[in-house]
Structure 1
Amino acid sequence: MTESFKNFWYGSFDPAGYITVDKPPVALWFMAISAKIFGLHGWSIVLPSVLFGVGSVYLIYQLVTPFFGKNAGRLSALAMTITPIVVADSRTNNMDATLVFFLLLAVWLLVRSISKHNVWLLIVSFSLIGIAFNVKMLQAFMILPAMYLFYWLAANESWKSKITKLVFATVGLAVFTLAYPVSVDLTPASQRPYVGGSETNSELELAFGYNGTERLLGQTTGTGGTFGGGMNAKSQKKSTGGPGGGKMPTAMKQNGKTPTGKTSKNGGQKMPTGGPGGQAG
């Protein structure tokens, strides 16, 4: 990603730019920029996660202090600092530290927008959720119901004003959510890497399929296969595609090609094996 803007933009780890990771690349962009500035080292890849982790602790302090005082703010910040999963994620190149930071920043701006009666802060707040969507997709939307409800109950305005401002905020959310995946899907497939984790080479299908309903219903693993036993046992027996009985991506079945690097019976051309599939979870 540090040697090719194409790989950087699409989040493709392999030098040939054959396939992307199974998440949007926003979190990876920070890691690639850090590696470009400081060189490719373990610490330079992890540095953005560390900074986002520290930033999240500061935001927790800023969120709690105005309502409950400095002591409560310090205790809250300390609690987050020593939470094992926070420490673990802030020391790795996982995307969770980046996601949490953007979500907390969005909530902090939401609170500020209410206290200052500033619609632009509200729009930026919801737009940040759209950016967070392009970190780890639908996981970012989990706090949206609480944000809408909090603004509706806390804002000291008429209901018409609340609706109007929330409509503008939702437009900002939609724009920043869809800008990247739509731009990828509108790019001809021959001019970009294959969208890893998807069956139709679509970023939107990845978001609402593999990383959306399929994970919610427990139909996939991190490698695109199905879990053994239970409701998927029959599908495992019938399917012969990906790991654990997962289906072969539809877009990679055309013209007799398979993603295994072998020539099919129909005489299709050989294709290289897929690049890194990205992080699961």
Structure 2
Amino acid sequence: MTTQYDPPATGQDGTTARGPKPPAPARAPGAGEPGQPFARRLWRGREEDPRWARPALLGLLAATLLLYLYDLSASGYANSFYSAAVQAGSTSWKAFFFGSLDAGNAITVDKPPASLWPMELSVRVFGLGSWAILTPEVLMGVAAVAVVHAGVRRRFGPAAGLIAGAVLALTPVAALMFRFDNPDAMLALLMSVACYLVVRALEDGRTRWLVWAGVAIGFAFLAKTLQAFLILPALASVYAVCAPVPVRRRFGQLAAATLALVVSGGWWVAVVELWPASARPYIGGSQHNSFLELTFGYNGLGRLDGEETGSVGGVGGGGGTGMWGETGWNRMFDSEIGGQISWLLPSALILLVAGLVATRRLRRTSVTRASFLVWGGSLLMTMAVFSFMAGIFHQYYTVALAPYLAAVTGMGAGLLWERRRQAWASVTLAAAVAAAAAWGYVLLHRTPGYLPWLRWLVLVGGLVAAFGLVFAGRISRRLALAAAAVGLVAALAGPTAYTLSTLAEGHTGSIVTAGPAGASTRGGRGGGPG
């Protein structure tokens, strides 16, 4: 990445992540013009991007698709609880609408049905089978990678976007859940879309972007209820403070987005609640056949304090240990969760702080800083809730963190790389690589029988790369790029190995984990309690 590849979008402060916007690079006459064939324009990409950017993106998306499709049928019907609902919805439109477990519409699943709809439509077209059920989940994973890449590329350049997309694709829990039929795949995709749209709204202050973000969160609610609202405080507060429009207009836009959220997420709830109970299936998971009770009880506030009505048990308070694991600030790093999501989490936190420090003197409306606040705020809000929630918690829930973590990593790496001639930036970038290598060593050491040579390769390679990056602003560009490449490989080697192990095995049941056998003390390949 060099300054000639700065993205075209600029905030009200007239800057990108790397300073004033430079002129667009020269290009061959007619390249990528509207009159060119669609295939050529698709391959060439945007005028301001280097020639390698679009082929690299298409390669990343194709590789993600092929990886996630590999031996997809090994998981069979994956979570048979949701697969039963998919089968019912593929034969009965009433079961399709309500999310019934059976075509006779006796009872629903314990979630809204939106995550089932793509799978049910696929089964209606292609027939019942593992590929028909799980391929829509794979496509959501590829779409999430594309959205995160687009969100980062707009302001931090194509290389940063590629790093963010690769981090998401190679996160073990993402590789698990984008090949599984739980609601988490759709939730992660829609949350990524919401963050992307809020950043677009912060660029130009247009209401439509914020309204569409509300629609995305509303449909995410129809995938996994209140978990979709975890990032609302971060998104709303950032827009209220940083949007490039007058205060009254900001709050009017937020009101319009809230209305869009309520309509897109509430229409189904209203229909279900108004439908005569005797003429619809029983709401699974509720005690009194009420979706609102399910939403705010078993699937809602009860998840926070462990007092869900109808729950099979929980911690019952913060800082304790129960059947859902130990709560506390280190929960995302412990032996149950760490190998699923936390490989680059220390680095992402370092890069988030560095990004906020680097942009602290920019104007209120700086979209560069706002991007860190949107994606980083979503990361911190979700991580805090997951760390301290005392109710039902499964390791695979952490897939919700993956898009935010990937975006922050890509943005921070891109920003610090462009400022590497400043000593603090090169040292901080080196610290992020060293943290990834050290934490990767710790996680790999927790499964000492799994590729024992890899942890040393990660540690040594990462530390060597970090040493080189300390001097990235003083050595030649070629040597600095070599150090950055070694650091990136070292940082991604551990999660890539866990991801490949995840893809190599089938996963069935209701409690599944990513990585090799023994990577988590709870859950596993073959499932758990229904």
State the match for 1:42 in structure 2. 130
- Tell which structure's C-alpha radius of gyration is larger: 2
2:31 maps to none
| Distance (Å, rounded) in 2 between the aligned partners of 1:61 and 1:48 | 20
- Residue 225 of structure 1: CA displacement? 3.4
Residue 281 of structure 2 corresponds to residue 193 of structure 1: yes
Instruction: Indicate conservation of the 8 Å contact 1:24/1:137, yes or no.
Output: yes
* 2:225 corresponds to 1:225: no
Q: Could you tell me the percent identity over the aligned residues?
A: 40
Q: Tell me which residue corresponds to 1:25.
A: 113
Q: Deviations over 1:183-236 (max 9, x none)?
A: 101000111000000011111111111100112111349xx33417868xxxxx
**Corresponding position: 1:181 with 2:266:** no
Match in the other structure for 2:325: none
The 1:119–1:229 alpha-carbon spacing in structure 2 relative to 1, beyond 3 Å, is closer
Q: Is residue 254 of structure 2 the alignment partner of residue 169 of structure 1?
A: no
- What are the equivalent positions in structure 2 for 1:1-281 lying under 5 Å apart? 1-220=89-308, 224-227=310-313
Task: Compute the TM-score of the two structures, normalised by the length of structure 1.
Answer: 0.78
Partner of 1:274: none
Q: Structure 1 residues 108, 61: closer, same or farther in 2, change over 3 A?
A: same
Aligned to 1:239: none
The amino acid across from 2:117 in the alignment is: W
Match of 1:256 in 2: none
- Say whether the 8 Å CA contact 1:58–1:77 is kept in structure 2: yes
Give the conservation status (yes or no) of the 8 Å contact 1:19–1:195: yes
State the match for 2:470 in structure 1. none
SS of corresponding position for 1:2: helix
User: How far off its partner does 1:150 sit?
Assistant: 1.9
Deviates more, 1:103-112 or 1:4-13: 103-112
Whole-angstrom CA distance in 2 between matches of 1:213 and 1:163:
27
Displacement of 1:67: 2.1
3-state SS, counterpart of residue 155 of structure 2:
helix
SS of the residue 1:26 aligns to: coil
2:169 maps to amino acid: T
Q: More displaced, 65-74 or 41-50?
A: 65-74
Judge conservation of contact 2:307–2:314 (CA < 8 Å) in 1: no
1:98 and 1:212 map into 2 onto residues whose CA distance is 18
Q: AA paired with 2:291?
A: E
Matched position secondary structure for 2:91: coil
Over aligned residue pairs, what C-alpha RMSD do you find? 2.0
Deviation at 1:106, TM superposition (A): 1.5
- State the secondary structure of the residue aligned to 2:90: coil
Structure 1 position 79, deviation (Å): 0.6
Aligned residues: 233
Q: CA deviation at 1:177?
A: 2.2
Gaps of 5+ in 1: 232-277
Residue 272 (structure 1) aligns with: none
Q: 1:170 & 1:38 partners in 2: Cα distance? A: 37
CA distance in 1, matches of 2:316, 2:138: 39
Q: Show CA shifts across 1:149-187 (max 9, x none).
A: 221233111111111111111111122222111210100
Q: Please say if residues 97 and 113 of structure 2, whose CA atoms lie closer than 8 Å, have aligned partners that are also in contact.
A: yes
Pairwise CA distance, 1:123: 0.9
TM superposition outliers: structure 1 runs of 4+ over 6 Å: 228-231, 278-281
The structure-2 alpha-carbon separation of the partners of 1:138 and 1:228, relative to structure 1 and needing over 3 Å to count, comes to closer
The separation in 1 between residues aligned to 2:257 and 2:144, in whole angstroms, is: 23
The Cα of 1:142 is off from its aligned counterpart by: 0.4
Equivalents in 1 of 2:314, 2:134: separation in Å?
34
8 Å CA contact retained: 1:22, 1:279? no
Check the 8 A contact 1:219/1:226 in 2, yes or no: no
- What CA distance in whole angstroms lies between the structure 2 residues aligned with 1:226 and 1:50? 31
Farther-moved stretch of structure 1 (96-105 vs 149-158): 149-158
Q: Tell me the distance in 1 between the aligned counterparts of 2:203 and 2:118.
A: 31
Contact 2:149 2:164 (C-alpha < 8 Å) held by counterparts: yes
What amino acid does structure 1 have at the position aligned with 2:224? K
For 2:115, what is the secondary structure of its paired residue?
helix
Aligned match of 2:399:
none
Q: Distance in 2 between matches of 1:212 and 1:87?
A: 26
Q: What is the CA–CA distance in structure 2 between the aligned matches of 1:229 and 1:68, rounded to whole Å?
A: 42
Which residue pairs with 2:493 in the alignment?
Answer: none
Alpha carbons 2:298, 2:311 under 8 Å: kept: no
SS at 2:105 equivalent: coil
Unaligned segments of structure 2, at least 5 residues: 1-88, 318-508, 513-530
